[in-house]
Amino acid sequence: MQLAIIIMAAGKGTRMKSDLPKVLHQANGKPIVSYVIEKSLALQPERTILIIGHKGEMVRTATQHYSGIEWALQEPQLGTGHAVMQAEPALEGFRGDILILSGDAPLITETTIANLQQHHHTRSAAATVLTADMDDPTGYGRIIRNAESGDVEKIVEQKDASPEEQKVQEINSGVYMFNAEKLFGALKRITNTNAQQEYYLTDVFGIFFNDGERISAYKTPHGDEIRGINTPDQLREAEELLRDED
């Protein structure tokens, strides 16, 4: 099955207390997005598209030495769903799997991505989300599973979660595998009627569920891999883990 990868790298990263695009903050001497790009290219995808936004030309310049990278501009930034929409023109006619990765999560491994893709096909899913259990899931989207099938019913963002949903400890990593045609079909149907007034990529899961599509979840036992970097402290922690990786 053909594979295309979309890397989300448009964010500002205000909690980093710097005007530098978040994905260009360095860990052990290179931008955090470089780790994600290198692991992506190692999978030998047909297409690799970097979604850029805040200071996009700076991100493009910092990543242009990678062979096989394309860029799609998200301007203005209207949410994760809107970000993925910007890659649709480049992927017109593509009929394989689409892997969505976060440019600020450099600890993901090729092994976990391979396991995610295998699970996606074993379950014959329209979409598969990479998840993990967290003792303190505050700030993360929650995975709401169907009580009977165990498949995913929806993903609820922290700000939109009910008190009961906020008790769920299985969290959304922001890493997904999609059937390309079904993904772009569902993106045309999402709205921005939520607390942030943004187009959430996670809303496609509710659309799939209502359409009777299978939504699966692959839970990694390695929770560190899905850590996103949002603060200087988290960057320092990731640096240590990346050194261990080497």
Amino acid at site 142? R
Amino acid at site 106? P
- The three-state (H, E, C) secondary structure of the chain, written as one string: CCEEEEEEECCCCHHHCCCCCHHHCEECCEEHHHHHHHHHHCCCCCEEEEEECCCHHHHHHHHCCCCCEEEEECCCCCCHHHHHHCCCHHHCCCCCEEEEEECCCCCCCHHHHHHHHHHHHHCCCCEEEEEEECCCCCCCCEEEECCCCCCEEEEECHHHCCCCHHHCCEEEEEEEEEEHHHHHHHHCCCCCCCCCCCCCCCHHHHHHHHCCCCEEEEECCCHHHHCCCCCHHHHHHHHHHHHHHC
How far apart, in whole angstroms, are the C-alpha atoms of residue 218 and residue 206?
18
Catalytic-role residue among 15, 95, 189, 236? 15
Q: Are 69 and 34 in contact (CB under 8 A)?
A: no
Question: Is 15 designated active site?
Answer: yes
- Catalytic residue set: 15
